[in-house]
């Protein structure tokens, strides 16, 4: 249908006179250029607009990741479940940090790491990282994002931002940790989720002990532009995750580290974060 319309468009003469041999050749060239360059280009852009969240969020769903189902040690793992305001369910774990003497520590000695994972897999794939943190004496709270693992719903920047705030409140109100006992750890996308707690400069923003960011991008739109410079994708990104703007609102110590062989998020973007923060 499109091809037929284009043929009519380019084959007709604007003045109603028969086309010369030269004008026919020129119109065929224009028609070919349109069909074989413009149409594919626009198609790729439309595919990105339609599927961008599927490309950004790559969960590994699972029916059940409970402690009992995975046969985890109930002395070290505890199931966590949060109900969101829009009736979705976030499921995760609370790991107990290693105690040298085996006794419950005093309240002021409790330490918690809230772990915000990256954009792929689910919490069961991060078992080694979680255990290493727990072995250092920190309790660890991790919750799968919406649509990841056995959490329900669909991820987006707006809902994950709300969920991050709910997880932060849960750590204080339900688990009874003080702000100064909590460390936020964000892996890649998780760093952007953690920094969403500072979406504005409000005095009521969280004040954890510290924030640790691993391979976190300056913004999703900037990262997209870095990889697809020939397309206007960065203007069309729905979930922009502007970490470089939010990090300036953080008033607690921040540690940023990044692998030198990361071929997706460049170190240049990481340096921009540091300069913006300082």
The full 3-state SS of 172-184, as one line of letters, equals HHCCCCCHHHEEE
pTM above 0.75, yes or no: yes
Q: Parallel, antiparallel, or unpaired: how do β-strands 182-187 and 112-116 relate? A: parallel
Convert the pLDDT of each residue in 161-185 to its tens digit: 999 999 999 999 999 999 999 999 9
Q: In the CATH scheme, what architecture does the domain 59-277 have?
A: 3-Layer(aba) Sandwich (3.40)
Per cent of the chain over pLDDT 90 is 58
| Top-ranked range on mean pLDDT: pick from 16-20, 192-196, 219-223 | 192-196
Residue intervals in the chain for CATH 3.40.50.1820: 59-277
Mean pLDDT across the stretch 10-14? 46
> Which range among 42-56, 94-108, 115-129 shows the weakest confidence by mean pLDDT?
94-108
pLDDT by residue (tens digit) across 113-125?
Answer: 999 999 999 999 9
- Rounded Cα gap, residues 6 and 18, in angstroms: 18
Tokens of 53: 């969240």
Helix then strand then coil, in percent of the chain rounded to 5, is: 45, 15, 40
Model pLDDT, residue 14? 46
């Amino acid at each position: 249908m499109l091809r037929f319309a284009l043929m009519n468009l380019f084959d007709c003469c604007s003045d109603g006179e028969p086309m010369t041999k030269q004008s026919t050749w020129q119109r065929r060239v224009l028609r070919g250029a349109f069909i074989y360059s413009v149409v594919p280009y626009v198609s790729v852009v439309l595919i990105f607009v339609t599927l961008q969240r599927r490309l950004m969020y790559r969960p590994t769903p699972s029916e059940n990741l409970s402690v009992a189902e995975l046969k985890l040690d109930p002395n070290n793992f505890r199931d966590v479940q949060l109900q969101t305001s829009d009736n979705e369910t976030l499921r995760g774990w609370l790991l107990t940090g290693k105690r040298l003497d085996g006794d419950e520590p005093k309240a002021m000695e409790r330490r918690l790491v809230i772990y915000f994972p990256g954009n792929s897999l689910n919490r069961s794939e991060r078992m080694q990282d979680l255990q290493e943190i727990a072995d250092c004496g920190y309790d660890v709270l991790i919750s799968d994002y919406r649509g990841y693992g056995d959490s329900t719903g669909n991820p987006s920047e707006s809902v994950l931002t709300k969920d991050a705030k709910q997880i932060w409140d849960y750590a204080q109100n339900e688990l009874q940790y003080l702000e100064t006992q909590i460390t936020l750890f964000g892996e890649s996308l998780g760093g952007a989720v953690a920094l969403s707690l500072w979406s504005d400069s409000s005095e009521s923003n969280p004040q954890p002990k510290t924030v640790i960011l691993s391979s976190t991008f300056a913004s999703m739109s900037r990262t997209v532009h870095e990889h697809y410079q020939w397309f206007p994708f960065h203007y069309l990104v729905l979930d922009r995750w502007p970490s470089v703007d939010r990090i300036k609102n953080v008033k607690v110590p921040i540690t940023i580290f990044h692998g030198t062989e990361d071929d997706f998020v460049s170190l240049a973007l990481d340096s921009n974060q540091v300069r913006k923060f300082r």
